[in-house]
Amino acid sequence: MSLSEQMAASLKADSLVVAAGRPPREHDQPVNPPLVLSSTFYGTGPLADGDRGYGRYSNPTWDPFEEALGQLEGSELPGLLYASGLAAVSSALSLVPAGGVLVMPSHSYAGSLVMATELHEKGFLQLRTVDIADTNAVLAALAPADDAPAAMLWLESPTNPMLGIADITVLAAAAHDVGATVVTDNTFSTPLVQQPLALGSDVVLHSVTKYLAGHSDVVLGALVTSNPELRAALLHHRIIHGGIAGPFEAWLALRGLRTLALRVERSQASAAELARRLQDHPLVESIRYPGLPSDPGHTRARAQMKGFGAIVCIQVAPVAGLDGAAAADALVSAVDLWLPATSLGGVESLIERRRRHVAEPTSVPANLVRLSVGIENVEDLWADLEQAFTALSR
């Protein structure tokens, strides 16, 4: 690739998403990386480090995205692209030694919690769940007086879906003091809003499906680390366990990445305005958005983030004849512009009641609705919510 480390370090993030991962600037070279569809590559003799060899080891279409994401997260090493966010979760959890202790937020992405719980039940690791926004509770879970210290601290900040904010710097330092590896799921924030490696994390995880690709048309995951030994271990796991990305999906993800700065800027601004209006709505029982001064994570988010993200969560108040959960379902059914669907981070605004998923922790309120704010006009988004609330109150 043509973008030097020196140049990458000098660029602002909104330039880097456009410039990173381009082909060399040579006569008649394409401006965009080509799509390479091949399951194997020419070669004779022993395979050396860096040789492609076989499609499970490497693909030229992965390289530009991996380079760009590594640079965006502030690493000198390329990221690693996976077939899905959960494939990346599986690879990151493979760093926990057999029988080791994993400390994980009680409110995390449901797939991460389910996977960790199943590994715990099978005896592969010990799982301790904790409110990640409660720093003292996390510190106690990392090194309890009567049990083994943690081997890994799993952070998610903001958490999905409760939008809890972890003090990443303090918790990462404490985890390292007991010899634990720190993994941070940065899906909600993206590297434009938060850089966990700079805050002390060892590994950063993304569901590329969400903001990085940004168009709800691919399923991919990624990991980034600045530690060569950790990267080698993660790469080995990807090769052996086969959670590799398709070349076409990788090509689409890089194309989506080019507009990340514009999409994040627009969706964050709209989310902040919608949250400001929703906090005063009579049918909103409570609201979580780190950008609101009243939010319990606001001060911490301001200290470690360059914005507050584009996810807003509300609890819908009961209305005549409907409890909160039923009222939340009715609200979701009444929207026209917002799309009732799971996932987040696409150009379209999505809305869903989270507890409709069986795997969602029961500690998530049954009436909680997660709003993923897209790039539509904010007044149109607000008008659609208003008419849905009006229909609900009739």
CA separation (Å) from 151 to 100, 142, 197, 198, 229? Answer: 6, 8, 18, 21, 16
Burial of residue 251, with CB atoms counted within 10 A of its CB: 0-12 exposed, 13-18 middle, 19 or more buried: buried
- Which tokens is 239 given? 């090769």
Is 306 noted as a catalytic residue in this protein? no
Catalytic (active site) residue 56: yes
CA 168 – CA 321 distance, rounded (Å): 43
Catalytic pick from 63, 131, 167, 185? 185
Active site residue 109: yes
Q: In angstroms, rounded to a whole number, what is the distance separating the alpha carbons of residues 307 and 186?
A: 13
- Which of 169, 247, 192, 182 has its CA nearest to residue 68? 192
Active site residue 122: no
Marked catalytic residue, from 109, 300, 353, 370: 109
Considering the candidates 56, 255, 302, 306, report the single residue annotated as catalytic.
56
Q: How far, in Å, CA of 323 to CA of 49, rounded?
A: 60
Task: Count CB-CB contacts under 10 A for residue 29.
Answer: 12
Q: Which of 210, 266, 355, 370 is catalytic?
A: 210
Residue 355 in contact with residue 371, Cβ under 8 Å? no
| Residues forming the active site | 56, 109, 185, 210
